[in-house]
Amino acid sequence: MKEKIIFEGKSKIREIVYDNNSNLFYFSFEEIHLIPTDFWRFFKNNKIELISKDHNLKYSFQEPKIDLISFLNKEFKNDYLLKIEITNNNDLILYFSSTKKIEVYITSMAFENWEITIKNKQYICLQGGDDIAVIE
């Protein structure tokens, strides 16, 4: 698949949550819902700020040192999602109104890698990132 823009507009973030049982993040925007099933990175000014794998890590502290949920909710408080792109490799990139973006990567050859629903259209990155299933 060639690079493809699947959303252009202005969508406010509603909520970011993390489910401890499934170890999944859920991103909810106006009419857009994203479930990255494994690995994603948050960029600011083209620099990696945080990586999903760091969420709730304690290192040598008693309490988690990195709380991605509170960090991202603060970061995106005044931002809008402007564009969503599927790359040539079927990675997913979310561009925001500031200099921020989230890149969701293919990390599994056996399982789906990400799922996003925009209005009533669902995109699922299939095993190995070989194809995108589109359900309308």
Domain extents in the chain: 4-135
Answer whether 107's CB lies under 8 Å from 114's CB: no
What's the pTM value of the predicted model, to 2 decimals? 0.89
Question: What's the pLDDT score for residue 114?
Answer: 93
* Lowest-confidence region among 1-10, 61-70, 91-100: 61-70
CA angle in degrees (0–180, nearest 5) for 63-23-122: 140
Question: What's the pLDDT score for residue 17?
Answer: 92
Question: What's the pLDDT score for residue 23?
Answer: 86
**Measured distance CA(116)–CA(98) in Å, rounded:** 22
The predicted-structure confidence for 8-59, as pLDDT tens digits, reads as follows 999 999 999 999 898 899 999 999 999 998 789 999 999 999 898 877 766 6
Chain centre distance of CA 61: 27
Number of helices and strands in the chain (H, E): 1, 11
Chain centre distance of CA 86: 12
The better pLDDT of the pair 26, 127 is held by 26
Answer whether 119's CB lies under 8 Å from 29's CB: no
